Amino acid sequence: MQISRQLSLRNFQVWRSQRKLLALARWDLIRAKGQTRFVLRQALTYSLIMIPARDFSDYLIDGQMQPWSERFLVNSISYCIAGLLIGFFSWASMEGRYKNALLDQQIAAGEINPPH
């Protein structure tokens, strides 16, 4: 029983480390395309999800849709701004992880092959 727990914990840890490596490899490709593209894409994605979701929830609460009302436009603009902020914070977070991984890799390489 204990051996199977250890094996499943080990498998889970291997899976997590592979997932982190895959995310960093993917981030290398994304960051090559530029920060502006990433942030705008995040903002667009967030807005296109949240605007209809909010409109639908308003429909469920109020019982009617008001697609071009002042409330709808204010919500749309606020979701676009929030999407931009989320994009900038996501960029900063992933850049930090990426740079830490590069630093860890340099430290590990230095420990294996110390300079003479």
Quote the pLDDT of residue 58. 80
Residue 8 C-beta-side C-alpha neighbours within 13 Å: 4
Quote the pLDDT of residue 1. 63
Q: Answer whether residue 13 is part of any domain.
A: no
Sequence letter at residue 78: S
Q: Answer whether residue 18 is part of any domain.
A: no
Nearest C-alpha neighbor of 65 from the set 76, 49, 54, 79: 54
Q: Answer whether residue 8 is part of any domain.
A: no
Q: Answer whether residue 62 is part of any domain.
A: yes
Q: Answer whether residue 90 is part of any domain.
A: yes
Mean pLDDT within 56-63: 82
Query: What is the domain range of residue 65?
Result: 34-112
Q: Are 86 and 47 in contact (CB under 8 A)?
A: no
Confidence of residue 112 (pLDDT cuts 50, 70, 90): very low
Q: Answer whether residue 79 is part of any domain.
A: yes
Confidence of residue 108 (pLDDT cuts 50, 70, 90): low
The pTM of this model reads: 0.73
Overall domain count for the chain: 1
Q: What is the mean pLDDT of the chain?
A: 83
